[in-house]
Structure 1
Amino acid sequence: MKRAQHLLLLFSLIFIQGLSAQSIDELVQKTSKSLIKNKEFRAVSIGIYKDGESYIHHFGTLPTGQSPNNDTRYELGSVTKVFAGYLVAQAVLEGKIELDKDIRTYLTDDYPNLSLEGTPITIKDLVTHTAGLPLFINSEVAKAYQGLQPNVPDVIFEFEREYTKDKFLESLYNIQLTEKPGTTYAYSNAGAELIGNILSSVYNKPLNELYDQFILNKAEMNHTSTEIDNELAQGYWMNNTEASKLSENLLWNTGTGLKSSLPDMMKFIAYNLSEDPIIKESHRLLYEKKTRWMGYFWNIWKDKYGTSFNHHGGTTGTQNWLYIFPKYDLGISIFVNHSGPKTPQKLNKAAKAILKELAY
């Protein structure tokens, strides 16, 4: 009798797990279909990682006329920063850099302007966006984005093509800090690229090699790189009917620059839910003020769903959002081949709907 009861319980658990997997697949499809109803979203790719399993679905059409699939690679935009943050955590644990060290320790030239009232910018300031550096090292890029004009993709493309590492370092001399480093959060692509310069210097390797060595090979992410290839999806800016040119980052590819497929992002989520000591360090709280919590470039959030980690990324043709919820062994990655001021809120709303269904 007991054996029969045990078998019945086992079969019941298997059935429940099967239903759960089916319901997650249905949830991904439902969310994707809801997003694709937005006319500007021509292609949508959503992946959910839950309890060791990945659930991926693609909808819509790319500029090539083909539908996105598991081989499709998207521009990660600023989600690149959390990969760079991992490299910083790796360097900290190896003793190659120190979080509280003056960044000028690791720079070739002297920059007396990277200090205010005796307080220098530190590595921790760079990875928490509290260095006081501008959003973009090239002020013309910031101006171009502010206008939200149809020609923004072409303007940004031309700026990127001419802005080299040498120009970046020259422009660094022109920055004037207005607040003491470490005091105020102000998002900075310039700071993220500067950390790339420091990483390449202390390891004496280009960033693409560091990504491969310390992250991509470990997580078996074979479709993630800084390269532009035929599998890289183009997208649209605002209401443009012509696809945007793909971004070209001639800097260190730490503020933006990585491209990845959705299956690879599921592997990255799985890695971020592991017990790897470098992952733990990259998730460590480094800055806390009111409702702003920062790890190594990760936005950290604390609510009824526990401590979670997220980052948004966008280019002139693609936007995506990455979420990690350790309490539920859950991660979400959403891509759309559209970029506009309202796109982030729509992606965030979709992710919250998924979380509400899976937080059990």
Structure 2
Amino acid sequence: MKYLLPIVLIISTFSFQKSFSQTSNVEDPILKSIEKHGSSFIKDKDINSVSIGIYKDGEVYTGHYGEIDKGEGNTPNNETIYEIASVTKTMTGYLVARAVLEEKIKLDDAVIIYLEGDFSNLQYNDTPITIKHLLTHTSGLPKFLPLEMNNVFEKFDEHVPEEYIKLERSYNKKQFLADLKNISITEAPGTTYLYSNAGAELIGHVLETIYQKDIDQLLKESFLAENNMFNTAITLDETQKQKLVQGYWMNNETQSPNQLNTLWATGSGAKMTMTDMMQYAALQLNTKNPVVLESQRVLYERGKTFKIGYFWRVWNDKYGRSYNHHGGTSGMQNWLFIFPKYNVGISIMTNQSGPKTPNKLSKTVRKILKNIIEE
């Protein structure tokens, strides 16, 4: 059933943060752009709420529109925690870049050296899957493990959330590694781009093996704590759980369950507020940070335009070189763009998910960027 939000229930809030401190400046042209596009975004009959964040030149701007729960009038805010899904991969990439610079790992290391047991299947004609292949989605591994998960998102029907959570609930790290032994690599790794959450999860195992710490601890030590990202984690505490929203799959009237993250969660398991996302954008614009520079370095190219760094999609156009990543669960979607030429980071999050949502998000980001650079 389609749901059209009554005009009287359309609620919007917006805020301005300078040097990450709250003030009010509603006449600012960037806030006007957020207001314009945020209000427009929730006019879409399938969208319930949206949060938009912009980092530019040391200042943060955020805006929140619509309602989290249909009919409840509860607008998201700077404390709302979203599942950021595959944008998590860029954080995983940061951890790997740190490990590379610390000489704890090499990009050309065969992944099997970090696995116990016989994983001789993770190669093709003596060409092994390496860390670099996992980072660039060129390993030849399937999109998901278990393999049954790959069928869930092919149907795009109303049952996707319940089928996904059922498979996730019955799966764990031990089963993942057992299934990994049965994968057949059909061409030389590094040859073909094939997006793989399984590959990103395998990197989580590698990182925990290297550091002998869990991923949450590694994230805190690497950049969360020093960048005041206190509401970002894979495993939330009890207070944070109260702020975690649920979302809607396509035009479902009931909310989708949140992810359980029964593996390493390095593929799609992080949750965070828009405030923390803006801190993360600021980090990614810090050209003095060697880990950032390494994580954004191009590792794989195909043709003239397709480039990938440490999970980052690297893009070159009239706006200069930029970095972006999309994330989606069965209830939420978000997109993060980093534009170093303009010292700008833009994030847009919504608690609605479906095949058309990514394009809606990216188009809105491009419109906002155009507004910003024309001012």
User: What's the TM-score, normalizing by structure 2?
Assistant: 0.89
Which of the residues 288, 292, 296 maps onto 1:283?
Answer: 296
Deviation at 1:317, TM superposition (A): 0.4
Is 1:24 the counterpart of 2:38? The answer is: no
Counterparts of residues 224-235 of structure 1 (less than 5 Å): 224-228=232-236, 229-235=241-247
Counterparts of residues 21-170 of structure 1 (less than 5 Å): 22-63=28-69, 65=72, 66-170=74-178
RMSD of aligned C-alpha atoms?
1.4
Tell which deviates more after alignment, 255-264 or 99-108: 99-108
**8 Å Cα contact 2:256/2:331 also seen in 1:** yes
**8 Å Cα contact 2:216/2:235 also seen in 1:** no
Is 1:314 the counterpart of 2:320? The answer is: no
Cα gap change, 1:319/1:252 in structure 2, threshold over 3 Å: closer, same or farther?
same
Deviation at 1:20, TM superposition (A): 11
Secondary structure at the residue paired with 2:28? Answer: helix
Secondary structure at the residue paired with 2:148? Answer: helix
Tell me the distance in 2 between the aligned counterparts of 1:20 and 1:293: 38
Could you say which residue in structure 2 is the equivalent of 1:304? 318
Secondary structure at the residue paired with 1:359? Answer: helix
Cα gap change, 1:21/1:218 in structure 2, threshold over 3 Å: closer, same or farther?
farther
Tell me the distance in 2 between the aligned counterparts of 1:207 and 1:19: 38
Cα gap change, 1:21/1:208 in structure 2, threshold over 3 Å: closer, same or farther?
farther
Tell me the distance in 1 between the aligned counterparts of 2:66 and 2:246: 13
Deviation at 1:344, TM superposition (A): 0.2
Letter in 2 for 1:220: N
Deviation at 1:41, TM superposition (A): 0.9
Tell me the distance in 2 between the aligned counterparts of 1:94 and 1:316: 37
Tell which deviates more after alignment, 59-68 or 48-57: 59-68
Deviation at 1:27, TM superposition (A): 0.2
Moved over 6 A (4+): 18-21
Q: Could you give the per-residue CA deviations for residues 176-208 of structure 1, whole angstroms, max 9, x where no partner exists?
A: 111110111110000000000000000001111
Q: Could you give the per-residue CA deviations for residues 72-99 of structure 1, whole angstroms, max 9, x where no partner exists?
A: 0000000000000000000000011100
Gaps of 5+ in 2: 1-23
Deviation at 1:110, TM superposition (A): 2.3
**Aligned residue pair count:** 343
**8 Å Cα contact 1:129/1:185 also seen in 2:** yes
**8 Å Cα contact 1:41/1:338 also seen in 2:** yes
Tell me the distance in 1 between the aligned counterparts of 2:218 and 2:358: 29
Q: Could you give the per-residue CA deviations for residues 145-176 of structure 1, whole angstroms, max 9, x where no partner exists?
A: 11111111011011111110000000001111
**8 Å Cα contact 2:246/2:351 also seen in 1:** yes
Tell me the distance in 1 between the aligned counterparts of 2:373 and 2:31: 15
Tell me the distance in 1 between the aligned counterparts of 2:104 and 2:82: 32
Tell me the distance in 2 between the aligned counterparts of 1:335 and 1:19: 22
**8 Å Cα contact 1:305/1:359 also seen in 2:** no
Secondary structure at the residue paired with 1:331? Answer: strand
Tell me the distance in 1 between the aligned counterparts of 2:64 and 2:268: 24
Deviation at 1:19, TM superposition (A): 9.5
Q: Could you give the per-residue CA deviations for residues 319-349 of structure 1, whole angstroms, max 9, x where no partner exists?
A: 0000000000000000011000000000010
Secondary structure at the residue paired with 1:139? Answer: coil
Q: Give the structure with the higher percent helix.
A: 1
Secondary structure at the residue paired with 1:321? Answer: strand
Structure with bigger gyration radius: 1
Identity over aligned residues, as a percent? 49
**8 Å Cα contact 1:76/1:257 also seen in 2:** yes
Could you say which residue in structure 1 is the equivalent of 2:348? 334
